[in-house]
Amino acid sequence: MKFKNLELLNFRNYDNLKLNFDDHLNLIYGNNGEGKTNIVEALFLLAYTKSFRTNNDKNLIMFDQDNLRVKASVLNDKFLNNYMITINKEEKKVFINETNYKRLSDYISKINIVLFNRNDLNLIKESPNIRRKNINIDISGFNNTYLKQITIYNKIIKQRNSYLKLLYLNGNMSKDYLDILTNKLIDTGINIYNIRKDYINKINESINKYYNLITNDESSLTIKYTSEFSESKTKLMTKIKQSLSKELILNKTLYGIHHDDFVFYLNGKNIKEFGSEGQQKNAIISYKLAIINYLKNMNINPIFILDDMFSELDNEKINNILKLIDNDLQIFITTTEIDNINNNIKDNAKKIRIHNGTVEVD
């Protein structure tokens, strides 16, 4: 899968930009604050319909403008498709080959991007809530069903919590509807559990290999997935029934995959508590390479974006990483320090210099 080009209209600091890309390596360089990350943010937006650094779509619109448009042609298996997103103050619209997709969940997962940037460290450093969000984004990047299940699950939780409140205030009400919701909660929850479990298992098949190749050591890295829904449906039913009185008082669904966690262990120890900054970064990049490996095994050739690589990793590691990536993957690297990059990489790359929202291609 490859981005052939990109067209930005009033996106961040680009009023009108047209770019063509190399099928393999694109090196986007320039000083701080010139607009490097903005370019890869636009690519990510086309894939996920959301930015990786703001939840507010309006922030993506150029200052003092009312709407933005991002367009790109993406080549996948000899097929060229045109993707487009428009955002104005009221709404966001997504198109593939001019057809407007009314539901974002039908559009997402078609462009497969694996992104590495500094925020990814949150997957280790932050709370389980942030870890779940990150994993949700990673899985929905290629699995559309998963995203839909998550949306349904969140709706069930909302409905169930408000029904618990109603029941608490009105003890005579029938509990039949609660039973229906509990059933749905368990079924959807188990579906999500199975997808997450399978995903983490697949990641664990290669993450350690990548860690060892990047660091040149023999440590062991694994991700441990924990969930209250790792039990059978009958057991879950009983557990939930037993906690009903507590749930009523708290108006809260107490069991579910909304408490899942994904913890990185290096040599048997939680890397969040015991790992160094460097070890945490290496763990994350190994995770990203393991995702690419997993996707390739499913015949998906993702696009790999490395945002601000050199402030995160040293030159030797980056060379190790690039050596691990097949020539048939498209890669975007943003950096302030083009001088640090090995000549053999530079010579093969399309070099895109960014200066204050304008672009020069060498």
Interface pattern 283-312 for Mg ion (x via CB under 5 A) = -------------------------x----
216 binds, among ligand ATP, Mg ion, none (CB under 5 to 8 A by kind): none
Residue 5 contacts residue 309 (beta carbons within 8 Å): no
- Which CB sits closer to ligand ATP, 230 or 336? 336
For Mg ion, the binding residues in 34-53 under the rule CB under 5 A are: 37
Q: Which of 56, 63, 90, 170 binds ligand ATP (CB under 6 A)?
A: 63
Question: At its nearest, how many Å lie between Mg ion and the CB of residue 245?
Answer: 51
15, 9 in Cβ contact below 8 A?
A: yes
Q: Return the residue of 5, 16, 18, 33 that touches ligand ATP, per CB under 6 A.
A: 33
Residue 34: contacted member of ligand ATP, Mg ion, none (CB under 5 to 8 Å, by partner type): ligand ATP
Q: How far is the CB of 252 from Mg ion (least distance, A)?
A: 39
Identify the residue among 3, 17, 25, 34 touching ligand ATP (CB under 6 A).
34
Among 25, 36, 240, 257, binds ligand ATP (CB under 6 A): 36
Among 3, 6, 12, 332, binds ligand ATP (CB under 6 A): 12
Q: What angle do CA 321, 322, 324 make, to 5 degrees?
A: 65
d(CA 23, CA 78) in angstroms, rounded, equals 13
Q: How many residues comprise the chain?
A: 362
Q: Contacts by 210-217 with C-beta closer than 8 Å and gap 24+?
A: 210/285, 210/286, 210/289, 210/290, 210/293, 210/324, 211/282, 211/283, 211/286, 213/320, 213/324, 214/282, 214/285, 214/286, 214/289, 214/317, 214/320, 214/321, 214/324, 215/282, 215/317, 216/320
Q: How far is the CB of 281 from ligand ATP (least distance, A)?
A: 17
Strands of the sheet with 261-266, listed across from one edge: 221-226, 261-266, 269-270
Q: What is the 3-state secondary structure (H, E, C) of 214-258?
A: HHCCCCCEEEEEECCCCCCHHHHHHHHHHCHHHHHHHCCCCCCHH
For residue 27, state whether it binds ligand ATP (rule: CB under 6 A).
Answer: no
Q: How far is the CB of 33 from ligand ATP (least distance, A)?
A: 4
Site string (311-330) toward ligand ATP, x via CB under 6 A: --------------------
Q: Are 283 and 221 in contact (CB under 8 A)?
A: yes
By beta-carbon proximity to ligand ATP, the closer residue of 8 and 192 is 8
Kindly state the number of chain residues that form the binding site for ligand ATP, as judged by CB under 6 A: 16
- The structure tokens listed for 104 are 């974002």
The residues that touch ligand ATP, with contacts defined as CB under 6 A, are 12-13, 30, 32-38, 59, 61-63, 308, 336
